[in-house]
Chain A
Amino acid sequence: MSDCKFHIDFIKNRKIYFTVSIILVAFCILSSFIFGAKLDIQFKGGTLITYLYEGEIDLNTFQEDASAALEGIGVKATTGTDFNTGKNNVQLSMLSNSGLTADKQIVLTNTLEEKYAANNLELVESTDVSPSAGKEFFSKCLVAAVFAAIVLIIYIAVRFKNIGGWLAGVCAVAALLHDIIVVYGTFIVFGMEIDANFMAVILTIFGYSINSTIVIYDRIRENKKLYKNKCSLGELTSLSINQSMTRSINTTVTTVSAMIVISVVAVIYGVNSIISFAFPMTMGLISGAYSSTCIAGPLWVWLEEKKSGKGGKKKAAPEKSVEA
């Protein structure tokens, strides 16, 4: 025991961390049912067209006119303001099963431009994705994520053989899942659409969270060699987390402050696509720092203790601890 001195006993406090995380994850999943996920048309298919306009537009008549131009296809219109140019825009969304062909888009734009000549309509953006293409993109993302998780577990299992390997890999992925759910929850709670930005954030957090966990595992791996059997597994882990603490804090401070800068600049410039990228990223980074410190290690120790059937303070090293 004398060899292992540390400030915060992460293993002793694990019940608190686990409870906090379970509540957090449950909250995110619950809010997904309460608020509902807003899937971007990139995933669910449909059409989205944005026009800039001047003066005033009556939303209801605009919606009816658009629908009439498309021979009765259901159209939903919303208005907004572009911070960048200060111009007003109107967005039409359609949930079409067959996609809106270029032909129909031309008819729509021409009809509306004619009717609203005084408003100087200007097409800014249009997206049209058929439902099958959207579904395929979504499932491809899912397969890529699952495959990446498997590859990472294998990599950790190989590289961290001396501290249990597989279990450590699974715990790292569990911490990662925790962070992904937090990012997802951020999108849901703040009513942001699940779109390409969501994928970019998830992917970034994927890398960031695994990296943070690996830095701590690396320390455990090193300490295990250093202390051999002088400390219990729990003590070793707590010691390692404490030693990595400054690094975790400083890296998180730099990356999070960079993200906050980006969020602020995006708000000033009014670029929504960057806000919905930088803000969830900030949440993900904080969650990643927390989960790799408070969840991955303690969870791993807990599972190792369970596996070897002994509770509480157990001498380090399950199977192949004693080195020749």
Chain B
Amino acid sequence: MQKRLNTDVLYDIGKGMVIKVKRVKKPVFFVVFLLIAAFAASVLFGISSYYGDIETVYVKGVDDIRFGIDIKGGVDVTFTPPEGFDATDEQLDSAKEVIVQRMINLNITDYEAYIDYSNDRIIVRFPWKEGEAEFDPEAAVKELGETAQLTFREGIELDSMNKPTGVTAENIILEGKDVAEAYAAYDQSANAGSQWLVALNLTDEGAKKFAEATEKLYNEGGVISIWMDDTCISYPRVSAVITDGKATISGNFDAESSKKLADQINSGALPFKLVTASFSTISPSLGMGALEAMVVAGIIAFACIAVFMIAVYRLPGFIAVIALIGQVAGTLAFVSGYFGFNASGILTIPGIAGIILAVGMGVDANVITAERIKEELNNGKTLDGALISGYQRALSAIMDGNITMILVAVILMGAFGTPDSIFAKALHFVFFMFGPSTAGTIYSFGFTLLTGTILNLFFGVLCSRLMTMSLSGFKAFRNPKLYGGAKK
């Protein structure tokens, strides 16, 4: 058995160059090990506390992972104006606003919606509604594409369902066709100080009707409520008689909320009905079966890898398994929104493939290193020398392999990400002739591959090196046989 020197190690890296390598202290293994274990446990279960029946989630766990519609089931639909109709960007904004409003009305909150301006398309994706077996996706999609009914009504009288009743139901002042346009404006001249507001331009007929109504309501101090289908979107008080068809709505608006209201009002004046260009549904039962199979397969496959690594590489193999657990937990943490800043991570089946590939890269990194250590030991190096040069020499291969992985992942995220993601913007020069993505599943692959690979560099390279170096300081672990060398 070899003795361990207590000073830093001077190590000959060839070509007459000698580097000084800092010793890794003995307790480091336990610190790293406990940190990885605690991290993995918190990722698995999340961190939350109960106060009575109220659960407060501090850190999201695996249960909070949002699954793609290929796993959870859901609807993926692309809307476009009818053939031959060239919609303006403003019209598309309005149309999207209608769809979003309707999804909220249908109690669908976990939606994604974005616009492809170059191809006049609106892409919408939403998962199956939780606990709803009888959800009718076709009807829901049909409803989403309908033209919205915009109405301006007198007063604001609501029934128990928040639908218009009484005079509000009877007395419709304006309809969508009476509004020429609505836009957000910033008013700096107002006495009350500068503010955001929504400006309306009415048609001639609309102006006439509006003048009558405002005259009546101004005297009564009444309000006009604005409705999109059966949802009230605004109810301004009438503060003047408006005869020229140019009205403004003011209130606590900012740039965003004023644009939203303007988009909503414009949507009622849309001259087209949306049709579905592509439409897919997948039932949750089909997807959940796939998920369950994937989880079972993943656990068995991981166990096989762990047994193989420990059997073949002994101590470095054992360390590799710890590092791999850290890497898998880390990838799941990114997907579940554990770190808080990337709530958009959605796990799909190709996303799981990305995790598998990244784990494969993690196994590979550990195999390369362990092989190198074995080789150095068999070349007659001391244990310390073999460990140091083994890690040193394995590093360039691991780095090059992982960096190419990262490059591929970034290209995929750029090609198939939503148009506002940084990768999509950076790679716009390559994919400029294509509209935004219609295949979110491949983006998910890129996302898990990218995070998995970066985590591999952290866990599989840095952490496993720290753990091995520190364990090699213990007398019990000084036998080169534990590292694949011949016993001395």
B47 within 8 A of A: no
Interface size for B (C-beta < 8 A) is: 76
Main secondary structure of the interface of A (DSSP, over half): helix
Partner of A215, one of B139, B401, B416: B401
B103 within 8 A of A: no
Indicate whether A203 sits within 8 Å of B412 (C-beta atoms), given known contacts A257-B304, A274-B290.
yes
Partner of B401, one of A139, A211, A221, A261: A211
Q: Is the CB of B139 within 8 A of A106?
A: yes
Interface size for A (C-beta < 8 A) is: 78
Q: Is the CB of A152 within 8 A of B404?
A: yes
Bound together, the chains give a CA A82 to CA B288 distance in angstroms of 13
Residue numbers in A under 8 Å from B289 (CB-CB): 84-85, 269-271
Q: Is the CB of A144 within 8 A of B368?
A: no
Residue numbers in B under 8 Å from A259 (CB-CB): 301
Bound together, the chains give a CA A141 to CA B442 distance in angstroms of 10
A99 within 8 A of B: yes
Bound together, the chains give a CA A258 to CA B139 distance in angstroms of 42
A101 within 8 A of B: yes
Q: Is the CB of A273 within 8 A of B349?
A: yes
Q: Which of A3-11, A55-63, A120-128, A313-321 contacts B (4 or more CB under 8 A)?
A: A120-128
Indicate whether A143 sits within 8 Å of B407 (C-beta atoms), given known contacts A196-B442, A274-B294.
no
From 215 to 234 in chain A, residues with beta carbon under 8 angstroms from any chain B beta carbon are: 215, 217-219, 221-222, 226
A187 within 8 A of B: no
Q: Is the CB of B353 within 8 A of A277?
A: yes
Bound together, the chains give a CA A262 to CA B296 distance in angstroms of 8
Q: Is the CB of A254 within 8 A of B367?
A: yes
From 12 to 33 in chain B, residues with beta carbon under 8 angstroms from any chain A beta carbon are: 14
Q: Is the CB of A247 within 8 A of B290?
A: no
The 8 A CB mask of A113-152 against B (1 = contact, 0 = none) is: 0000000000111111110010011011101100110011
Residue numbers in B under 8 Å from A208 (CB-CB): 357, 360
A163 within 8 A of B: no
B276 within 8 A of A: yes
State how many angstroms separate the Cβ of A229 from the closest Cβ of chain B. 15
Q: Is the CB of A254 within 8 A of B363?
A: yes
Q: Is the CB of B312 within 8 A of A250?
A: yes
Contacts A214-B400, A215-B364, A254-B305 given; 18 further ones with Cβ under 8 A?
A: A102-B77, A102-B141, A125-B281, A136-B434, A140-B415, A140-B431, A140-B434, A151-B407, A196-B439, A200-B353, A200-B445, A211-B361, A243-B375, A251-B363, A257-B301, A262-B301, A262-B356, A274-B297
The 9 tightest CB contacts between A and B, nearest first, are: A218-B397, A269-B293, A265-B297, A258-B301, A211-B401, A200-B350, A144-B415, A262-B297, A127-B280
| Complex A-B: 11 CB contacts under 8 Å | A127-B279, A128-B276, A141-B415, A200-B441, A204-B354, A207-B405, A207-B408, A211-B405, A254-B308, A262-B356, A269-B290
Q: Which residues of A contact B (CB under 8 A)?
A: 42, 82, 84-85, 99-103, 105-106, 109, 123-130, 133, 136-137, 139-141, 143-144, 147-148, 151-152, 155, 159, 196-197, 199-201, 203-204, 206-208, 210-211, 214-215, 217-219, 221-222, 226, 243, 246-247, 250-251, 253-255, 257-259, 261-262, 264-266, 268-271, 273-274, 277, 281
Q: Which residues of B contact A (CB under 8 A)?
A: 14, 70, 77-78, 138-139, 141-142, 145, 275-283, 285-286, 289-290, 292-294, 296-298, 300-302, 304-305, 308-309, 312, 349-350, 353-354, 356-357, 360-361, 363-364, 367-368, 371, 375, 393, 396-397, 400-401, 403-405, 407-408, 411-412, 415-416, 427, 430-431, 434-435, 437-439, 441-442, 445, 449
